[in-house]
Amino acid sequence: MYPWLVFPHLLGLFGFLLAHGASSSAAFALRRERNLERVRALLELSANSYGVMYGALLVLLVSGIWAGVLGQWWGRAWIWVSVFLLIVILGAMGVLGSRTYGYVRKAAGLPYFEGMKQQPGAEPASADEINTLLAKGNPVLLTLIGYGGLAVIAWLMMFKPF
């Protein structure tokens, strides 16, 4: 049964990475984009990937937890370190990515989230304000956190060092 849980775990990972690639690509493109309509299009492209991204993340988590139970890994430290790293990665991405680009969405006049509640878009801010917010985005740092963190988790899962 264990390999049958590893399979959806990997499919969930592939789906997550594929969908998240849209947000990553948009973040890199936003570094140099200053045309409001193009900024809005890139932000919408990124937001449109969230449904698949979070659905795949759910498949990844459920199958991973279930595989951990069947493999009797929960008594080993490597799985707890992996879970902790995933939480840290998600938190860092939320603070450094989602929050930053959420402010840009608001400034660009797009619907945005305040807490857990979606707010309607309003009149766009000035080009200078939008440019200032875009300059705060750091897709290289986000990529290092996401890719580096997932690389460590993959290493822990493959080699189960402790």
| Alpha-carbon gap, residue 162 to 74, rounded angstroms | 12
SS3 66: helix
pLDDT score, position 65:
95
Q: What is the pLDDT of residue 38?
A: 98
State the pLDDT at residue 116. 87
In this structure, what DSSP letter does residue 76 have? S
- In the 8-state DSSP scheme, what is residue 137? -
**pLDDT tens digits for the chain (162 residues)?**
899 999 999 999 999 999 999 999 999 999 999 999 999 999 999 999 999 999 999 999 999 999 999 999 999 999 999 999 999 999 999 999 999 999 999 999 999 998 889 999 999 999 999 999 999 999 999 999 999 999 999 999 999 999
Task: Write the DSSP symbol of residue 97.
Answer: I
Q: Which of 15, 16, 25 is nearest to 45 (CA)?
A: 25
In Å, how far from its chain's centre is CA 84?
Answer: 16
Query: pTM of this prediction?
Result: 0.90
